[in-house]
Amino acid sequence: MTPLLDIRNLSRDYARPGFFGKRERVSALRNVDLSLQPGEILGLVGESGSGKSTLARLAMALDDPSGGEVLFEGENLFALPAQALRQRRRHFQMVFQDPFGSLDPRHRVGRIVAEPLHLLSPRPSTAEAKTEVARILEAVGLPQDAVGRFPHEFSGGQRQRIALARALITRPKLVVADEPVSALDLSVQAQVLDLILDLNEKFGTAFLFISHDLDVVEYIADRVAVMRAGEIVEMGPAATVFSNPQHAYTRSLLAAQAVFTVPEMQD
Amino acid sequence: MSASTRKRPLGLIAGLVLTGLLLAVALLSLVWTPASPTKMQILLKLKPPLVAGLLGTDQYGRDIASLLMVGAWNSLSIAFLSVLIGAGVGTALGLACAIKRAGIFATLVLRGCDVLFAIPPILSAMMLGAFIGPGRFTAIIAIGVFMIPVFTRIAFAAASRIWARDYIMAARACGKGAARISIEHVAPNIATPILVQVTIQLGLAILTEAGLSFLGLGLPPPAPTWGRMLAEAQTFLRPAPWLALLPGLAIALSVLGFNLIGDGFRDLLDPKAETGR
């Protein structure tokens, strides 16, 4: 079975201007290999600055790699002509960490959610778009009157639902979610995670779920990849990685996590 | 004492009233003036206010109230059109530059703005006037071109900040191109600073137009302008000081009106300013 997303030997360097015009090269991603099956939730964990978000942008073809390729359904996204890439975009969408920055404050929710619809061909009529928006708002658990309101009228959790609705309206095969619950309260986190699991089941959408929170990833992911300093150090089924970590870095991540779980167990 | 703790935007209200009055007078002059602004009555020359006409007469016996009213229209129309040119072209350039900030286009435009900044509008009006002769068009173009770099820079700075937002990334993930993103997402989000700048530049445009007219580079006679009234009044400063005071006051009040609106808008629309309340 060909994987839905196949990342091969992907690297990304950034040029950072140093002193006296000398340019230093900083490597954000080094020879990363990663693949995702249709309908799968792959958790990507790692500390801040480990290259998770760089990987997310590259997987979405929003940035150009320094080397390697990203195959979506067997096609290298970076080799496609611009028009063809645009057409493919309906199949992979993105959800961002900050629910206050990822929605245009000047647009109403109906317009925000309908944003990717122009990628469909034939392009849906205004009436069709309206039905689609109504349907997806219901699927993410938002009231229908949200359509005419502005993002600032909603709470963080509701805004993340809006972002999910926008990402899912074209029925994509893959959603890249970059820390989608990190900015939310714990109780709201659980609601959004359950919603993602629910949508994964209902629409068969695969998720590349990026987080620094191991508990969250353990809860949601089928498989886990652990990143450190731009490289993937360990990958495997979630249960295996969390119960029997092979890499020293994974063990230290889990150990650091344990410190915070102990007081909860004493209650 | 009012129970409300919110500071009332008194400056904004005063500015709106002043500008509203000015606009009303300017529009009224198109259909009605107390007397013809070009009709000379030498017998009634240099009469003080209320002796002949509401605001007196000038050295040719023309009614000053009528001259000021038509002058208001000339001033405002030139100011509005030149700011429209400056804001339109400048904002479009700024938006385009923000797409690729270090690109050749952005570098050329922004350095071009630096060059344009160095040329005073009076000088460019003189050069333009030498080519096409003084007149309304010359004044509008000269002032408008001078306004472009201000708007380019403000639009560029504001748009660059917007381009770093996640909702731009989301729009790109939806397959939108840079031009479409600029129009649909960036432009609406930089409207506030542009609007504030428009009101401030309107005041400046009126001042510049008066300066051009003062030097004889604005509208040619007999069209009345505040600047030329001021220039001609110099000769009669001792016997008829109202000749200089009245157009001077008109210029000062209209610039004040626009500046009050600009400041008021900024306070009203800038969320950071609210903490000071």
Q: DSSP per residue over A47-114, as a string? A: -TTSSHHHHHHHHTTSS--SEEEEEETTEEGGGS-HHHHHHHGGGEEEE-S-TTTSS-TTS-HHHHHT
Distance to chain B for A95, nearest Cα, Å: 8
- Best residue in B169, B180, B190 to probe A by mutation, most A CBs within 10 Å? B169
Q: Which residue does chain B place closest to A170, by CA atoms?
A: B174
Match 């639902």 to its residue by tokens.
A161
* Amino acid letter, B239: P
Asked if B173 lies within 8 A of A118 by C-beta distance, the reply is: no
Given a cut of 90, is residue B150 above it in pLDDT?
yes
B2 pLDDT more than 60: no
Is A121 exposed, middle or buried (CB count within 10 Å of its CB: 0-12, 13-18, 19+)? Answer: exposed
pLDDT for res A40: 93
Cβ partners under 8 Å of residue B156, min gap 6: B93, B94, B95, B97, B98, B106, B110
Which tokens go with B14? 């005063």
Q: Which residue of chain A comes nearest to B172, CA vs CA?
A: A62
- Is the per-residue pLDDT at A200 higher than 80? yes
Looking at residue B34, what is its pLDDT? 77
Q: How large is the average pLDDT for residues A79-107?
A: 90
Nearest CA-CA distance, residue A12 and chain B, Å: 18
pLDDT tens-place string over residues A136-155: 999 888 999 999 999 999 99
Query: Residue range B159-167: average pLDDT?
Result: 92
From CA B243, how far away is CA B233, in angstroms rounded?
5
pLDDT in tens, A249-260: 888 888 877 655
Q: What integer pLDDT is reported at residue A159 of this predicted model? A: 92
Q: What is the mean pLDDT of residues A167-174?
A: 92
Q: Tell if the CB–CB gap between B174 and A119 is shorter than 8 Å.
A: yes
Least confident among A12-21, A48-57, A173-182, A201-210: A12-21
The predicted pLDDT at position A266 comes to: 46
Alpha-carbon span B16 to A263, nearest angstrom: 61
**pLDDT score for B222:** 80
The per-residue pLDDT for range B219-233, each reduced to its tens digit, is 888 888 888 888 888
| Cβ contact, residue pair B173, A103, below 8 Å | no
Using a CB-CB distance cutoff of 8 angstroms, which residues of chain B are in contact with residue A165? Answer: none
List chain A residues with CB under 8 Å of B174: 89, 93, 115-116, 118-119
Question: A101–B185: do the CB atoms touch at under 8 Å?
Answer: no
Chain segment B8-66, per-residue pLDDT in tens: 788 889 999 999 999 988 888 878 877 777 777 777 777 777 666 777 777 777 888 88
Q: What is the percent of chain B with per-residue pLDDT over 90, rounded to a whole number? A: 36
Q: Name which of A115, A176, A179 to mutate to probe chain B: the one with the most chain B Cβ atoms within 10 A of its Cβ.
A: A115
HEC string of A183-210? CCCHHHHHHHHHHHHHHHHHHCCEEEEE
Closest-CA distance of chain A to residue B197, Å:
20
Q: What is the ipTM metric for this complex?
A: 0.85
Query: Under a CB-based contact definition with an 8 Å cutoff, are residues A209 and A177 in contact?
Result: yes
| B137 interfaces chain A, CB cutoff of 8 Å | no
Chain B residue closest to A107 (CA)? Answer: B185
Which residues of A are less than 8 Å from B167 in CB distance? 101-104
Question: What is the side-by-side strand order in the sheet with A206-211?
Answer: A92-95, A174-178, A206-211, A41-45, A223-228, A231-237
Contacts of A85 in chain B (CB under 8 A): 175
Classify B53 in phi/psi space as left (phi over 0), alpha (psi -120 to 50) or beta: left
| The pLDDT of residue A66 is above 50 | yes
Predicted pLDDT of residue B277: 34
pLDDT at residue A61 tops 70: yes
A243-265 burial, b for 16+ CB within 10 Å, e for fewer? Answer: eebeeebbeebbeeeeeeeeeee
Mean of pLDDT over chain B:
84
Cβ distance of A102 and B173 shorter than 8 Å:
no
Q: Closest Cα of chain A to B143: distance in Å?
A: 32
Residue A104: its chain B contacts at CB < 8 A? 167, 171, 185, 188-189
Q: How confident is the model at residue A112 (pLDDT cuts 50, 70, 90)?
A: very high
pLDDT(A21) > 70? no
Question: Rounded to an integer, what is the distance from CA A106 to the centroid of its chain?
Answer: 24
Q: Which residues of B touch A119 (CB under 8 A)?
A: 174-175
